[in-house]
Structure 1
Amino acid sequence: MAHTLKCNNCNIVVNELLAFVINKLHVMDDESMSRICLAFFTAQDIRTAKDLLFLSVPVRKRKINRRREGHQRRDIDDIIDLARETDPDKFPVFVAKDLHKLPPIDFDSVDLTSLLKDMVVLKNELQTIKARYVTQEQFENLEKTAMECRRISNESDPFYRNVSHSNLNVNVRRGAYLNSGPMGLHISSSIENADEHNKTVLVCFNNISYADDMVLLSPSVGGLRLLIERCESYALTHNLKYNVSKSEYMVFKAGSKCPSHVPPIRLNGVELKRVSSFKYLGHLVTDDFRDDADIERERRALAVRANMIARRFSRCTAQVKLTLFRAFCTSLYTCSLWTRYTQRAFNAMRVQYNDAFRVLLRLPRYCSASGMFADAHVDGFHATLRKRCAATLRRVRDSRHSLLTVVADRWDSGLIRHWSSLHLSLAPKIVV
């Protein structure tokens, strides 16, 4: 009689009939499978396999003991029905000990009518594909038409006509529109015209766009309304539509001062919601210019990634775990933009980074953080932060975009001052 053999990670059930049924469940019809089992297995084998299947699979279905004539066929049907109704993840591993007991499959045992039906269905699907899918020539003609439409659209845009394409540094595959590398900053001609009426806007960069995300900047409500009006007219002209449900506006504080009442701002006739923080390209921006909320966001994301790799790769070697830690836990997203934060938020992020390394390598809770990173030849939290800031500074200085050039040339800028302070002292300065 078959037995259930258990190990630490799996359940192994040794039974030739169950191994055959589970293996052929998705490639044979029920009629052919039932006929083969009745021809090659005895009544005792069928009864034992049925009892063993109901014991091995946690189901609520009641086992019926068949005793009348034809009970062997009905027992086989019960086995097949239970196998098809049960989730495959709940099955144990069915194996065969005596391979000579496994029945062979030939054309006499297969229902040829079912095979012919499958062939007819497949033939109809191929005919449908041929009728609906385009040919290679049609696809090439469509591609040429799309390129011609893009060329005509670019030539009709006055902003694009005045730009030398040879001087552009565009990361098109990341959705950028104009020179800047990882992010596209541009001024649409429809937005630029708003400055003719809004004399208070002294800086021309009032529109920051990346792919389908757009940010409008204005020092007044009137200027912002004018920018939105220009956007609406531009979208109407180019057959575009703004998502009003995802559009929000925020009023930045001037120190501790912030207007409590702001006149309504509408987009496509719908009043926009005022928020104190929003996530733009994965970075949390708040109205008080502080980065505590974004640090907490990255801390939670780091905890999720660390727990995931610690659970899924717990049996891997230490070298594999170190590679996974460098890939998943040292990429602190937008950490180079953290300039105003509290000591509490910064320490919580540092502790989470250290604990993630301890959990992954199963180190003691109170072991030395600097010692464990030095022994593993892995960058600590401060080293990772300095490298990310240095990489961002290099990309900003290498960019030929005029706005990023202003940021790189202003030595009194908060970003430049913070990035420099990380390399001038061992402990970074915390602006509270």
Structure 2
Amino acid sequence: MFDNLSERLERSFKILKGEGKITEINVAETLKDVRKALLDADVNYKVAKTFTDTVKEKALGQNVLTAVKPSQLMVKIVHDELTQLMGGETAEVDLEGKPAVILMSGLQGSGKTTFSGKLARMLKTKKNKKPLLVACDVYRPAAIEQLRVLAEQIGVPMYSEPDSKNPVKIAENAIQEAKAKGYDVVIVDTAGRLAVDEEMMNEIAAIKKAINPNEILFVVDSMTGQDAVNTAKEFNERLDFNGVVLTKLDGDTRGGAALSIRSVVNKPIKFVGTGEKLDAIDQFHPSRMTDRILGMGDIVSLVERAQEQYDEEEAKRLQKKIAKNQFDFNDFLSQIAQIKKMGNLKDLASMIPGVGKAIKDIDIDDNAFKSIEAIIYSMTPAERSNPALLNGSRRQRIAKGSGTNIQEVNRLLKQFDQTRKMMKMVTGSKMGKMMPKMK
């Protein structure tokens, strides 16, 4: 996400590299390039100009310490201002009330229905909530069915009235249903509508008035470009929404319009959709996104994703097996499964500082573990539990069974053996003994 912007900003900062001090001339040259980078990334012109004017004012007002290079200082100022441009602080979603009501709004095709499912899953798994999905799109063919399928996939109930064409009444009845059955969050999926369609805009305004939602989220496709900013303005004037959701952020290397929305409508970005899978949703953290845009990675989000998959009992069991040199291929499969649950592999790797740039042009397939898993699944249960059994003939059989070759099988076994030795060494060291206390 924001790949082109990251690359262009990095190039801009090189103008100051080797300069002894910040001057009006070299700052002007750097910021001219920064402004071009922002405009090329589809950032609103007024937003880009205001941004660079503020950075210039702050840069010229700073004395460069002998230990700090001008380019480093410029990166720091741009980092702070970019964070402010995207909202500064992380904006939480309002879940007060029994039930809390969240109303989705946006254009046709912006991804409201899919996001509704993702949000319901997030609230269920991370916030321990009992959400109810509500189908209020009475116009789009198969909209109700799409929401039903999503609800079944995440194990969340859905309320619909297939024979009704009155979304206001459906929303009201759904809230009564939620109160009666103890659901604590109601997520109302509405039909996509154009801001110029007066009848449809009046309809969503009527839904808002009838159900008085805690949150109105404006869902926007981040690939829409500057039209997204104009649409956000018009929807906000009619609905006064609480926050913005950026979908399909993984599919756009520019994404600058997304940066403009916050400034133009003065409403926070609350969530981003980062892929097609139902777990591909993140709360929006301005400072972390700035880190990623400037190539600094996002270690905090990486650790949070790892913690979500962390199982303390499983970790203790694994530690005992490693200490006894009993770590086997069943354990290895278990570790692979946990990594896969954390999300897209390239996205995870790009959270490590410096790695994002290195792998920019490398395609990391989500099926990167497929051949490894095929090799392990081609082993017998006894071989998985006791890798020492894997002699030459067994390896030949496994290669044929997994559709790989003997070299790939041997490479995996060698890497597995090295990993096992290293894990035992770490677990047996003083550091290994200190780890549980430190945790």
The TM-score with structure 1 as length reference comes to: 0.26
The TM-score with structure 2 as length reference comes to: 0.26
